[in-house]
């Protein structure tokens, strides 16, 4: 009989440019991995800023190795003119580069000989590098080839439509399974791609989780502020809703503004910093809002310094890990109806608003300010359901899934 605890050699492919939610997800997944005998190799591109952060977090894990590779899809010329020309060129020859990238990954996997390739894809199709790894794994004879999608799948554009059609119909045949972090992300796969057309690819949801034991409320330090401190955790990107939140603050009375302080915590590009800073000045909110940039600290330590976390994304969130991280720390969340928020909070919750509803955000802030008992914003029904978002549950489900896929493909090979 198969021993489920048989050690597996797992290669994680992770191409991205910036740090973000996938960094935290991988940290939680690997920190609480249930089988200490499994051997991991994390293959990442040289432009991946989150990889250094992950390496530092997992430095005591002797069964986890890191392999830096140059990405064929990522190169940024210094000149803006050259950069534009380069982007157009890459756009036109993407199908060719995809094949080259797949061949590159085949060589890597032939050298590593993994049992499992677990490729991490942010928004689908993204830069195609993580998807090409799946084809490389198939060509190298890797048993289990699983793609994880964390964000939305977009519809093909008019130039890449033919390539997406061929690639996705082929991808469905070489994938062992496709995992998404939420039902909303899964639905975008079903609606906007051709992966499920032939009904041969297994698509399932495994919810993200955070380490509950390291997020206990008793770790909360005493806040050094007489104000209500509200924090938005995330890069200064348009879709994260910082501008909407500033609009909501503008709608508040001076009496309300005097009671709060707002922290924007997360990395940014210079152009985004300039845009948000200028808006803060024009709205006369300099005394209320501070842009702190990226803070290199444990997320629980940051959240515990806040009275309220705001996640006001104005387009799409695949999951919304910040919501779970905050709730596990007993910190309420003001959120738009994205990711898992609608399934967590009831329609009449005072802290959940429609996307882009700045008046609703302002009303939610006023409600939070006026309510003396802040625990009412995290009802018992939510607390009782948080167990499913424990990183130990997430890691166990991943291990069980990959182990099952390995067994299934081992049996196929015997036949």
Tens-binned pLDDT, residue by residue, of the chain (415 aa)? 445 568 999 999 999 887 778 999 999 999 999 999 999 999 999 888 889 889 999 999 999 999 999 877 665 545 566 666 666 676 778 889 899 999 999 999 999 999 999 999 988 998 789 999 999 999 999 999 999 999 999 998 777 788 899 999 999 999 999 999 999 999 999 999 999 988 889 899 999 999 885 444 444 444 556 899 999 998 899 999 999 999 999 999 999 999 999 999 998 989 999 999 999 999 999 999 999 998 888 888 999 999 999 999 999 989 999 999 999 999 999 999 999 999 888 888 899 999 999 999 999 999 999 988 877 899 888 888 888 899 999 999 999 999 999 998 777 665 5
pLDDT of residue 251: 97
Beta bridge partners, 335, equal 311, 352
pLDDT of residue 368: 96
Return the CATH architecture of domain 9-209+390-414: 3-Layer(aba) Sandwich (3.40)
CATH topology agreement for domains 9-209+390-414 and 212-389: yes
pLDDT of residue 262: 97
pLDDT of residue 1: 41
Q: Is 254 exposed, middle or buried (0-12, 13-18, 19+ CB in 10 A)?
A: exposed
pLDDT of residue 120: 96
pLDDT of residue 79: 52
pLDDT of residue 17: 80
Distance CA 28, CA 209 (A): 7
pLDDT of residue 3: 54
Pairing type for strands 39-45 and 352-353 reads: unpaired
Tell me the domain boundaries of the chain.
Answer: 9-209+390-414, 212-389
Homologous superfamily of the 212-389 domain (CATH): Glycogen Phosphorylase B; (3.40.50.2000)
pLDDT of residue 360: 96
pLDDT of residue 220: 47
pLDDT of residue 157: 78
pLDDT of residue 4: 55
The length of the chain, given as a count of residues:
415
Q: At what angle do helices 94-112 and 80-92 cross, to 10 degrees?
A: 80
* Omega cis (within 30) before 125: yes
For residues 288 and 262, is the Cβ–Cβ distance under 8 A?
yes
């Amino acid at each position: 009989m198969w021993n489920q605890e048989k050690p597996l050699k797992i290669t994680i492919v992770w191409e991205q440019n910036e740090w973000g939610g996938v960094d935290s997800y991988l940290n939680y997944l690997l920190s609480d991995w249930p089988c200490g005998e499994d051997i991991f190799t994390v293959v990442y591109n040289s432009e991946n800023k989150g990889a250094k952060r992950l390496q530092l977090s997992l430095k005591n894990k002797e069964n986890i190795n890191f392999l830096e590779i140059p990405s064929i899809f990522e190169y940024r010329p210094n000149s803006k003119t050259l950069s534009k020309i380069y982007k157009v060129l890459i756009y036109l020859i993407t199908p060719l580069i995809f094949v080259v990238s797949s061949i590159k990954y085949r060589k890597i996997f032939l050298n590593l000989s993994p049992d499992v390739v677990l490729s991490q894809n942010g928004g689908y199709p993204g830069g195609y590098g993580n998807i090409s790894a799946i084809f490389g794994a198939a060509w190298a004879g890797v048993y289990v080839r699983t793609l994880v999608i964390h964000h939305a799948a977009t519809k093909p554009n008019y130039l890449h439509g033919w390539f997406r059609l061929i690639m996705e119909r082929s991808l469905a045949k070489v994938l062992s399974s496709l995992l998404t972090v939420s039902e909303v992300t899964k639905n975008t796969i079903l609606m906007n791609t051709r992966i499920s057309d032939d009904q041969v690819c297994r698509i399932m949801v495994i919810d993200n989780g955070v380490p509950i034991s390291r997020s206990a409320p008793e770790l909360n330090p005493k806040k050094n502020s007489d104000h209500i401190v509200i924090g938005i955790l995330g890069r200064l990107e348009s879709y994260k809703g910082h501008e909407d939140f500033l609009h909501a603050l503008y709608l508040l009375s001076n009496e309300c503004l005097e009671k709060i302080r707002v922290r924007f915590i997360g990395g940014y590009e210079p152009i985004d910093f300039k845009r948000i800073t200028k808006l803060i000045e024009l709205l006369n909110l300099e005394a209320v809002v501070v842009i702190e940039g990226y803070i290199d600290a444990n997320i629980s330590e940051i959240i515990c310094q806040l009275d309220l976390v705001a996640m006001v994304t104005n387009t799409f969130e695949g999951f919304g890990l910040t919501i779970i991280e905050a709730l596990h720390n007993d910190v309420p969340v003001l959120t738009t109806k994205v990711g898992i928020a609608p399934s967590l909070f009831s329609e009449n919750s005072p802290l959940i608003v429609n996307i882009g509803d700045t008046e609703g955000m302002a009303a939610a802030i006023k409600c939070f300010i006026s309510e003396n008992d802040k625990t009412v914003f995290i009802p018992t029904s939510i607390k009782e359901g948080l167990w499913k978002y424990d990183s130990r549950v997430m890691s166990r489900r991943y291990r069980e899934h990959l182990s099952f896929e390995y067994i299934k493909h081992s049996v196929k090979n015997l036949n």
